[in-house]
Amino acid sequence: MAELGASVIGLGMMGLRHGRVWAELPDTRLAAVYDIVPERAQEMAAEYGCIAAGSLEEAIEAPGVDMVSVCTDDQSHVEACTAAAEAGKHVLVEKPLATSVTDCDAIIQATEENGTRLMVGHVVRFDPRYQVAKNMIDEGAVGDIVHIYGRRNNIVPSGRRIGPRTSVAYFLGVHDLDIMRWYVGCEAVRVYAESCRKVLIEEGADDTIFALLKYENDAVGCLETCWVIPEGQPNTLDARIEVVGTKGRVAVRAGDNEPLEVSGPERSARPDVAYGPVIGGKQGGALKYQLEHFAACISNDEEFLISPEDAKAAVALAAAIHEALDTGVPVSLAD
Ligand SMILES: NC(=O)c1ccc[n+]([C@@H]2O[C@H](COP(=O)([O-])OP(=O)(O)OC[C@H]3O[C@@H](n4cnc5c(N)ncnc54)[C@H](O)[C@@H]3O)[C@@H](O)[C@H]2O)c1
């Protein structure tokens, strides 16, 4: 496989991880990095020996860049993704693809017109637990799905950090909106939602959103997503999915039952072992699988595990949840 060069845009929590994986994988290299805070790019470039770009354009057009990881805030994905596509680069963008269907369409159109590939980092699809559950559903373990429940709850520093910039539906819920749709295998026809705001008042964000979905095949879906769980909880993430069907049940519990527990004098912790464990000094886990998959599909001209239309559908569901919250009535998605 020819070596692919990557540029990473947005060097916060996720951008640092993307950059590290591109630098560590055997068939990719980190060519350039860019952040609106110049010191972040300079620091990372010094660590990995890559270019610290001074602008988005410079990062995309730096020598040896074949693909661009977009890891900026949710609402600014559209600018970096369209610029990368227009420069002929393949795009891996963190979830959600965007925060409106219009922006999703603009990104998809830019990649189609310029003949570049687009994948959205719905990393939960690369979590072996969720993938094995999908395999079992496809093999008929649950029969015809009756209901599906998805939960994604984070501790409150997450809501305080991200709340002012996006919503819990786009930041957390979009993962499960995608997984639920992937498992059920058809579209939602109706969405209703309720929210509560008591903790993140200064941040101007909902603490929690519950949504009820009705799917084309008559199955019922329930999404619970929250980012104000007290910090005392030993795991930063509590994520679950449960699928009940005419023949059986499949359930995944992630976070709250991590098999590793570390206790100190004040608080026990259950560190993540699925998404980003460091193994032999290198980043392993689902994020690595996702980036490896992206690069391999480009090199081998293979389909991605998630299509741009799948990612757009998850955004459309999050947008419908917000419409239901704004109007107080169920939103019909049927044609
Ligand atoms: N897959 C996952 O599990 C997962 C987890 C967390 C976040 N995310 C997603 O990753 C993205 C980044 O989240 P994060 O937690 O790393 O955020 P973050 O706040 O830690 O980092 C964002 C970085 O982008 C930079 N930035 C903002 N706008 C920019 C622009 N226009 N051009 C260049 N740089 C810009 C900021 O300065 C900051 O360094 C978001 O879309 C988020 O939803 C995904």
- Does 293 map to a domain? no
Structural Rg of the chain based on CA atoms? 20
Quote the CA–CA distance of 308 and 81 in Å, as a whole number.
12
pLDDT of res. 218: 98
- Ligand 1 centroid to 189 CA: how many Å? 31
Q: How far is the CA of 93 from the centre of ligand 1 (A)?
A: 10
The total number of structural domains that make up the chain: 2
Residues 266 and 328 in one domain: yes
Listed in sequence order, the DSSP H helices in the chain are 13-24, 38-48, 56-61, 77-86, 101-114, 128-138, 156-162, 168, 174-184, 285-300, 308-327
Identity of the amino acid at 212: L
Distance CA 219, CA 198 (A): 32
Give yes or no: residues 68 and 87 share one domain.
yes
Q: What is the pLDDT of residue 1?
A: 61
Number of neighbouring beta carbons within 10 Å of residue 148: 26
Cβ(197)–Cβ(105) below 8 Å: no
User: Hey, what are 234's tokens?
Assistant: 């030993």
Residues 161 and 86 in one domain: no
Nearest C-alpha neighbor of 209 from the set 313, 319, 118, 304: 319
Where in the sequence is the domain holding 91, given as residue range(s)? Answer: 4-121
Is 191 in contact with 212 (CB distance < 8 Å)?
yes
Q: Report the phi/psi class of residue 143: left, alpha or beta, with left for phi > 0 and alpha for psi in -120 to 50.
A: left
Closest atom of ligand 1 to CA, residue 121: 1
Tell me the best of 35, 74, 165 to mutate to test the pocket of ligand 1, counting ligand atoms within 8 Å of each CB and taking the most: 35
Longest dimension (CA), the chain: 58
Ligand 1 binding pocket (C-beta < 6 A) is: 9-15, 34-37, 40, 71-74, 76, 94-95, 121, 123, 171
- If you take atom 22 of ligand 1, which residue's CA is the nearest one? 12
Strands (E) located in 102-248: 118-121, 145-155, 188-196, 208-215, 220-229, 237-245
Instruction: Determine the pLDDT at residue 260.
Output: 92
Same domain for 114 and 141: no
Boundary of a domain, candidates 70, 100, 121: 121
For residue 259, what are its two tokens? 């098999």
Q: How far apart are CA 234 and CA 89, in angstroms?
A: 41
Q: Are residues 132 and 29 in the same domain?
A: no
Given 98, 121, 144, the domain boundary residue is 121
Q: Which amino acid residue places its CA nearest to atom 19 of ligand 1?
A: 12
Q: Whose CA is nearest to atom 20 of ligand 1?
A: 12
Residues 189 and 205 in one domain: yes
pLDDT value of position 256:
81
| pLDDT at residue number 258 | 81
For residues 83 and 231, membership in a common domain is answered with no
Length of the chain: 335
Ligand 1 pocket test, pick from 42, 94, 178, 289 with the greatest ligand atom count within 8 Å of Cβ, gives 94
Q: Report which protein residue has its CA nearest ligand 1's atom 31.
A: 76
Residue type, 288: K
Residues 105 and 56 reside in one and the same domain = yes
Please check whether residues 170 and 66 belong to one and the same domain: no
DSSP structural state of residue 332: E
In a domain, 10, yes or no: yes
Residue nearest to atom 38 of ligand 1 (CA): 12
Instruction: Report CA(164)–ligand 1 centroid distance (Å).
Output: 13
- Same domain for 171 and 235, yes or no, is yes
Name the CA dihedral angle for 267, 163, 180, 229, rounded to a multiple of 10 degrees.
30
- Report the CATH number at residue 150: 3.30.360.10
Divide the 335 residues of the chain into consecutive groups of 10 and give the mean pLDDT of each group.
91 98 98 98 98 98 98 96 98 98 98 98 98 98 98 97 96 98 98 98 98 98 98 93 98 89 89 94 97 98 98 98 98 89
Residues 171 and 264 occupy one common structural domain: yes
Closest residue to atom 29 of ligand 1, CA basis: 72
